[in-house]
């Protein structure tokens, strides 16, 4: 018998050990802090921003194109400058992050649920069902995501809900593949056989036994895919086929400032760009560290 | 010791065969279509296995790894369908049992780490069977869980914990409690003590013996460990490459093994008095089940092999009351 069996009954619960392992990488902890900060700022945007950048009554065209650090006509400081319409960039970025995150998280949740369901069913049913689902997955993974989303938006039409749907369509396959491979390992374990011996229904085995045990790798894929969704949506918005202008995301902000970039008004484009970069990068680093922590093969 | 012929058997294993077939993929089918000699891989894991287990009896099923003993265990427990043959519990076909009746047979698994769902608390693991099948009213469930945990030697106060907080031996007890919670009559123990260290192994074996009287249980005890089988079993069935080659009451078998394979197995067994004796393993390796030798499966390794053994499959015949063996040597000169 190995030491593993002798784990004292008072040992740490799984979560505490996970937290300890996660903290072994200081950059990941910093990034987790950043992600939480960004989430907090995005959630609180309507209450903490100096102005509502999309309430035209609050904008003053005379404040347009002010460089960072200048003050408004009324004496309010614009820390990150203003755009052509006199919109405070800091407020616009916080609102943009809010929109970007909302779209990416909704798309991620939709893709997560679809992929998890189909992946579990494929692994549990095997045979024709499995082959059918996995061939669709292969097909989806074979197309470049940006191309598929563009085609989908052309077909579906524009709108926030359409963008969310398009992003979910290109992302569910990653979740399905991960869920299937995790479930294939779990379904062979004896606790599944024991549940069958006790007369558990297929639904019960899928939901009570397989699903909870397939979640850890799905969470890793989930974080990485949310970061991907943010960049994808930013790309679409930058190209002008993403979110409507009434709900500007970071991509649209970057696109708006793009035409002023060469005339020296760098802040309109660069600050939203930095916000996007920091957000996507920190989510990815958190995801990488989660993978390290949750993968039993890499644990010491 | 129960004579299986005297009382009506609880479990009848009637001519069970199990083939595992590796189906051809598209490329393979294409190659065969083009006339190439590509065949499906077919392994006969069990070949016409036939024996019975009387009520209250403990039957030990022994064999090397790969001989099909776990496959037989899973078929008896209803987790796998046989290719041919039938399992009857109390005269009813295993496949015809449904709902609560199917709970009569439960299985205890080898690896206590994979046998318990790591995301369920002990109380939910133990309560799952009664909950699914509504064998007790919901109010009585906590009491049943506590009682079952106590009967297997665990503290009910720990029922809120997760499996990873227990040791290997304790986990095996949780697995036993899960099976007992639905009040089975028959337990299939598939190498149930092999993954445990020796001291814990002894405790779990004693627990099995206690539960046998407490719950009037019948066991099919699958093991490669002859010492354990000698201790717990009333009768022993020896399996070699999917065929039963010998069946005998435990004492008789250990006193005078009949089949050359059994003799070889028993002489390998570590014993205190065997000090200084050179260890002599069974010659050769277990043949590949993909291409089993013709005739008697054991003939390539058998010191007494006759020309006849290479061609003719020996029949499992009664050689003494309650004893059967499949060896041409028993046919006499």
pLDDT higher than threshold 60 for residue B120 = yes
> Residue A124's pLDDT is what?
96
Which residue in A187, A195, A197, A212 has the most chain B C-beta atoms within 10 A of its own C-beta, making it the best mutation to test that interface? Answer: A197
Q: Do B164 and A14 touch (CB under 8 A)?
A: yes
How many cross-chain Cβ pairs, A to B, lie less than 8 Å apart?
84
Q: Do A193 and B111 touch (CB under 8 A)?
A: no
> Residue B272's pLDDT is what?
62
pLDDT band with cut points at 50, 70 and 90 for residue A50: confident
A127 close contact with B: CB closer than 8 A: no
Domain boundaries, chain A: 102-293
Min CA distance, A110 vs chain B (Å)? Answer: 24
Min CA distance, B129 vs chain A (Å)? Answer: 5
Alpha-carbon torsion (A189, A195, A201, A207), positive or negative: negative
Segment B111-132 shows an average pLDDT of 94
Q: Do B102 and A199 touch (CB under 8 A)?
A: yes
CB B82 within 8 A of CB B12: no
Min CA distance, B218 vs chain A (Å)? Answer: 17
Interface of B with A (CB under 8 A): 74, 77-79, 99-100, 102-103, 105-107, 109-120, 128-129, 132-133, 158, 161-162, 164-169, 171, 175, 178-179, 182, 195-197, 200
In chain B, the percentage of residues whose pLDDT exceeds 70 is 93
**DSSP, residue by residue, B174-207:** HHHHHHHTT--SEEEEESTTTTS-HHHHHHHHHH
**What's the domain count of chain B?**
1
Residue A1: list chain B partners with CB under 8 A. 168, 195-197, 200
Q: Domain range holding B200?
A: 9-256
Residue A213: list chain B partners with CB under 8 A. 117-119
pLDDT higher than threshold 70 for residue B332 = no
pLDDT higher than threshold 50 for residue A3 = no
> Residue A297's pLDDT is what?
54
B164 DSSP assignment = G
CB B207 within 8 A of CB B198: no
Residue B169: list chain A partners with CB under 8 A. 5
> Residue B186's pLDDT is what?
95
CB A41 within 8 A of CB A94: yes
Interatomic CA distance for residues B217 and B303, integer angstroms: 40
- Write the residue in B129, B162, B167 that is nearest to A6 by C-beta: B167
> Residue A10's pLDDT is what?
41
- Indicate the SS3 state at residue B276: coil
pLDDT tens digit sequence for B268-325: 776 665 555 555 566 677 788 788 888 899 988 888 888 999 988 999 999 988 899 9
Q: Do A9 and B77 touch (CB under 8 A)?
A: no
Interatomic CA distance for residues B64 and B93, integer angstroms: 29
Q: Which residues 168-227 of chain A have a CB within 8 Å of chain B? A: 189-191, 193-201, 204, 208-209, 212-213
> Residue A264's pLDDT is what?
84
pLDDT higher than threshold 80 for residue A284 = yes
Q: Do A195 and B117 touch (CB under 8 A)?
A: yes
Q: H or E segment at A160?
A: helix A160-187
B110, with CB counted inside 10 A (0-12, 13-18, 19+), is buried
> Residue B1's pLDDT is what?
45
pLDDT higher than threshold 70 for residue B333 = no
Interatomic CA distance for residues B221 and B223, integer angstroms: 6
pLDDT higher than threshold 60 for residue A8 = no
CB A201 within 8 A of CB B133: no
CB A143 within 8 A of CB A226: no
pLDDT higher than threshold 50 for residue B140 = yes
Which residues, 6 or more positions from B189, have their beta carbon under 8 angstroms from its beta carbon? B107, B108, B208, B219, B220, B221, B222, B223
> Residue B94's pLDDT is what?
85
Of the listed ranges A31-40, B217-226, B300-309, the one predicted with least confidence:
B300-309
Q: Do A198 and B200 touch (CB under 8 A)?
A: no
pLDDT higher than threshold 60 for residue A289 = yes
In a domain, B106, yes or no: yes
A259 close contact with B: CB closer than 8 A: no
What is the token pair recorded at B100? 């609560």
> Residue A5's pLDDT is what?
39
Min CA distance, A116 vs chain B (Å)? Answer: 17
Rounded alpha-carbon distances, angstroms, from residue B185 to B19, B59, B147, B182, B237: 28, 14, 18, 9, 20
> Residue B2's pLDDT is what?
46
pLDDT higher than threshold 80 for residue A222 = yes
Average pLDDT, chain B: 88
B91 DSSP assignment = T
A6 close contact with B: CB closer than 8 A: yes
> Residue B243's pLDDT is what?
93
E strands, chain A, are 70-71, 77-78
Q: Provide CATH code, domain A102-293.
A: 1.10.3720.10
Of the listed ranges A169-183, A261-275, B205-219, the one predicted with least confidence:
A261-275
Q: Do A5 and B161 touch (CB under 8 A)?
A: no
pTM of the model: 0.85
> Residue A9's pLDDT is what?
40
> Residue A6's pLDDT is what?
40
Residue A6: list chain B partners with CB under 8 A. 167
pLDDT tens digit sequence for A126-149: 989 999 999 999 999 999 999 999
Q: Do B166 and A9 touch (CB under 8 A)?
A: yes
pLDDT higher than threshold 70 for residue A217 = yes
Segment A37-60 shows an average pLDDT of 87
Of the listed ranges A185-194, A278-287, B30-39, the one predicted with least confidence:
B30-39
Q: Do A190 and B111 touch (CB under 8 A)?
A: yes
Report ipTM (2 d.p.).
Answer: 0.88
pLDDT tens digit sequence for A81-125: 888 888 889 999 999 999 999 999 999 999 999 999 999 999 999
Q: Do B109 and A193 touch (CB under 8 A)?
A: yes
Segment B1-17 shows an average pLDDT of 73
Min CA distance, A30 vs chain B (Å)? Answer: 30
pLDDT tens digit sequence for B188-210: 999 998 888 888 999 999 999 99
Which residue in B101, B106, B119, B194 has the most chain A C-beta atoms within 10 A of its own C-beta, making it the best mutation to test that interface? Answer: B119
CB A121 within 8 A of CB A129: yes
CATH code, domain carrying B245:
3.40.50.300
Residue A204: list chain B partners with CB under 8 A. 132
Min CA distance, A197 vs chain B (Å)? Answer: 6
pLDDT higher than threshold 90 for residue B181 = yes
Residue B102: list chain A partners with CB under 8 A. 199
Which residues, 6 or more positions from B142, have their beta carbon under 8 angstroms from its beta carbon? B123
Of the listed ranges A71-75, B46-50, B171-175, the one predicted with least confidence:
A71-75
């Amino acid at each position: 018998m190995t030491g593993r069996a002798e784990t004292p009954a008072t040992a740490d619960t799984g979560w505490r050990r996970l937290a300890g392992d996660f903290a072994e990488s200081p950059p990941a902890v910093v990034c987790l802090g950043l992600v939480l900060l960004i989430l907090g700022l995005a959630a609180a945007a309507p209450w903490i921003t100096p102005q509502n950048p999309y309430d035209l009554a609050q904008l003053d065209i005379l404040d347009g194109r002010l460089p960072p650090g200048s003050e408004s006509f009324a004496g309010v400081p614009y820390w990150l400058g203003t755009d052509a319409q006199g919109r405070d960039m800091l407020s616009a970025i916080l609102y943009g992050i809010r929109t970007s995150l909302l779209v990416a998280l909704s798309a991620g949740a939709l893709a997560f649920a679809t992929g998890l369901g189909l992946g579990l069913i494929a692994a549990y049913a095997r045979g024709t069902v499995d082959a059918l689902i996995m061939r669709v997955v292969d097909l989806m993974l074979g197309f470049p995501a940006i191309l598929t989303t563009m085609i989908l938006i052309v077909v579906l039409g524009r709108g926030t809900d359409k963008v969310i749907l398009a992003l979910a369509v290109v992302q569910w396959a990653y979740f399905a593949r991960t869920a299937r491979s995790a479930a294939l390992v779990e379904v062979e374990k004896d606790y599944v056989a024991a549940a069958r011996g006790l007369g558990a229904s297929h639904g019960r085995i899928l939901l009570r036994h397989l699903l909870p045990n397939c979640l850890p790798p799905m969470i890793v894929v989930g974080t990485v895919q949310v970061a991907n969704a943010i960049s994808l949506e930013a790309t679409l918005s930058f190209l002008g086929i993403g979110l409507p202008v009434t709900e500007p995301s970071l991509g649209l902000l970057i696109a708006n400032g793009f035409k002023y970039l060469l005339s020296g008004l760098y802040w309109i484009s660069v600050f939203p760009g930095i916000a996007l970069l920091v957000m996507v990068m920190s989510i990815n680093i958190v995801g990488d560290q989660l993978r390290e922590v949750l993968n039993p093969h890499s644990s010491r | 010791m129960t004579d299986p012929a005297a009382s009506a058997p609880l479990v009848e294993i009637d001519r069970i065969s199990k083939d595992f077939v590796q189906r051809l993929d598209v490329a393979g089918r294409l190659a065969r279509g083009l006339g190439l000699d590509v065949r499906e891989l077919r392994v006969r894991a069990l070949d016409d296995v036939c024996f019975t287990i009387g009520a209250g009896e403990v039957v030990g099923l022994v064999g090397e790894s790969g001989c099909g003993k776990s496959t037989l265990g899973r078929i008896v427990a209803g987790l796998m369908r046989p290719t041919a043959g039938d399992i009857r519990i109390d005269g009813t076909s295993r496949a015809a049992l449904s709902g609560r009746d199917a709970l009569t047979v439960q299985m205890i698994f080898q690896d206590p780490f994979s046998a318990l769902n790591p995301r369920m608390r002990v109380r939910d693991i133990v309560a799952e069977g009664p909950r699914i099948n509504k064998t007790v009213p919901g109010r009585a469930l906590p009491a049943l869980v506590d009682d079952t945990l106590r009967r297997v030697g665990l503290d009910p106060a720990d029922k809120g914990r997760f499996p990873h907080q227990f040791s290997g031996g304790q986990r095996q007890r949780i697995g036993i409690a899960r099976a007992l919670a639905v009040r089975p009559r028959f337990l299939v123990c598939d190498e149930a003590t092999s993954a445990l260290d020796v001291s814990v192994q002894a405790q779990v074996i004693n627990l099995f013996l206690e539960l046998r009287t407490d719950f009037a249980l019948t066991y099919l005890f699958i093991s490669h460990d002859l010492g354990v089988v000698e201790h717990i079993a009333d009768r022993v069935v020896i399996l070699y490459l999917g065929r039963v080659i010998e069946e005998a009451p435990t004492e008789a078998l250990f006193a005078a093994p009949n089949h050359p394979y059994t003799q070889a197995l028993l002489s390998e067994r570590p014993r205190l008095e065997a000090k200084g004796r050179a260890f002599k393993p069974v010659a050769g390796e277990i043949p590949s089940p993909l291409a089993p030798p013709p005739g008697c499966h054991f003939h390539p390794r058998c010191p007494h092999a006759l020309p006849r053994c290479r061609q003719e499959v020996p029949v499992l015949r009664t050689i003494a009351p309650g004893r059967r063996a499949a060896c041409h040597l028993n046919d006499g000169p």
